[in-house]
Amino acid sequence: MLGILWTVSYVLVVMGLSAYGLHRFWMVYTYYRFKNKGINPLARFENLPRVTVQLPIFNELYVVERLIRSVVALDYPKDLIDIQVLDDSTDETRELASGIVKEFREQGYQIEHLHRTDRTGFKAGALQAGLQVAKGEFILIFDADFVPTPEIIHETIDYFTDSGVGMIQTRWGHINRGSNFLTKVQALLLDGHLLIEQTARNRSGRFFNFNGTAGIWRKTCIEDAGGWQHDTLTEDLDLSYRAQIKGWRFVFVPHVITPAELPMEMNAFKAQQHRWAKGAIQTCKKILPRVWESQLPLRIKLEATFHLTSNFAYLLLALLAVLIQPNPKNAGLHWDSIILIDVPIFMMASFSIFVFYGVVLRELKYPWYKILVYVPMLIATGIGLCLNNAKAVLEAVFNHQTDFARTPKYGIGTGVQKWWNQKYKAARSLLPLLELVMAAYYGYFIWFAWEKELWISLPFFILFTIGFGFAGIFSLFQRSSFSPWWNRFTVNRV
């Protein structure tokens, strides 16, 4: 009976992962079908509108000056742009930001330092508080780790000559893409989402989301959709769907790139991924029923379902990691059956990742052989994240409340910088120890597969071992007494 239960569970998990794999193939197909479909502004503004730039920050000592100075340098008439520094800081960031704002106010810039002592709603609360006093017809938002180019408003504002457009999203760039192994993988993950998924969804008429930063909203669109709400950790995804359900249209402009700093530390990356995964499932629970109750076309409902539930794939991957057994007798299923039945299905899920990110690398003009290096590294990283993100999914499902965990930023540019000695640190947990246990567990699988000559299974076991080991070791050593040696070893000069 136990063997039958295991078999059924295993097959269901692999089929679930394969379904998300097939969806990945569909995204690639849709991207190629629509990528050349241009979306141009209907007209040009004869009289430029007023724009409010919102900069939500919380304890951003190393990047706040870079952020404010880059925003002040925006190429837009000084009398038509207001800047709000929405500061919830509890450290010396507050004084630093206040001093920089005072400097530019004295130069005639319309810039305000709005400090809250009550962090109700975290980022969403700060944005909503700023919105209530915003003077601009359009609201441009930048997180603290972004460095906008001067021309960003001119490159986006004219899309709003179409009164039905509610939001314009630019594509993120990566200041420190080549800083270490982790930043290279993050950059590729984000490029897959921003270049392939966002383009495919937008150009094919499906819903896509504001990414929380580097985008510009029509103020009336935010208000019509119910404003910024803080009952999820992904207020950007939540508002995006509420606005589009109300009939507002969004535009993604992949040719407009806004540079940003990627997390250098594994624990910071995990915290960011945890927040995104948990918030996405919270939004799924809140919004997906409304999507299916609406009169939207079926194609939009189906894509919204895959989009909002996509983080369940991490839970399925974590379950798969547990369900795989090294001993055929204990597993209740012979390895011959696994190879004949399960591996083809699992290959469907895995091969889709190779195809998807192979397309990303090709679109970014990488040499073809880079696929053989970057994609396995990316798959291993996804495996390493599965316990972290599965935990986030379960917390969302069972309504476990946690605070908004900020991602530490260090003002990294290109080249080597000793970021690990800086003030801010990501929270730690016991999860890396479990990840190392799983790495050892799969290390035994490698030996077992070698001994039993299970050559088809061996590459998967290697990826699982590397993935869990990568996540666990980086989490433990990047901010430990080994930090100087470890980070000199893992940092690349760009």
Query: Would you please indicate which residues are annotated as catalytic (active-site) residues?
Result: 88, 236
Q: How far apart are CA 79 and CA 57, in angstroms?
A: 24
Report the first-to-last Cα separation within the chain, whole angstroms: 57
Q: How far apart are CA 319 and CA 312, in angstroms?
A: 11
Token pair 């974590």 is at which residue?
A: 318
Token pair 């390895």 is at which residue?
A: 335
Token pair 């929405």 is at which residue?
A: 86
